[in-house]
A = this chain, B = another copy of it.
Amino acid sequence: MRKDFGAKPWLYPLPVLIVGSYDAQGRPDAMNAAWGGIYESDQVILCLSEGHKTTKNIKARGAFTVSIADRAHLVQADYVGMVSANAAPDKMERSGLHSEKSAHVDAPLFDEFPMALECRLVKVGEDGHIIGEIVNVSADERILGEDGQIDADKLEPISFDAVHRTYRVLGETVGNAFSDGAALGKNG
């Protein structure tokens, strides 16, 4: 028996994307977004509304970063989603986040968030969303496994639970993609 909840923006899992940008004065800003994801094999989409300072920044500077919020910096990630730099000019100082400019695009990388996509603005989409080319993915060595790859057990990315307005951490590996399904058959 199914229960209907009506039209809700609910999906599992939703990411917690920390979007980094510079304003016209070169000051870094960060915001928290759950609506966005991979758009093409080398592009991301951010479904931000027009009013955000981040949206203006990205349009002006033509670049942004997308950091993956991690368990260790959940408070900082939540803070930059609660507070607007328009209303609180000292937002970034209070956030405790530190940044340096990406070597690849004109946008800040935050020291605290160990994985980020460095992106060049491709266009503002037909409905006002930000579409960017992923120029580079970078990760701090502290979250790499012995194979030199990003290790989600070390990253501990968090997810936004839109039903309960909580954050959940990503859990353990439970299967292999493009593999476990073969038990049921293969193409042709």
Contacts and interface: CB of A to CB of B under 8 A. Distances in A.
A170 B168 contact: yes
B175 A167 contact: yes
Given A1-B141, A13-B15, A140-B2, A39 B44 contact: no
A118 to B, nearest CB: 9
Interface residues of A, number: 103
Nearest to A165: B177
A129 B131 CA distance: 13
Nearest to A78: B181
Interface in A129-188: 129, 131, 133-141, 144, 148-150, 152, 155, 157-161, 163-188
A69 B75 CA distance: 29
Given A39-B47, A186-B82, A169 B178 contact: no
Nearest to A133: B7
A117 interface: yes
Interface of A: 1-15, 17, 34-42, 44-45, 47, 66, 68, 71, 74-84, 87-88, 91, 94-96, 104, 109, 115, 117, 125-127, 129, 131, 133-141, 144, 148-150, 152, 155, 157-161, 163-188
Closest 6 CB pairs of A and B: A171-B171, A78-B181, A79-B181, A12-B157, A167-B175, A37-B37
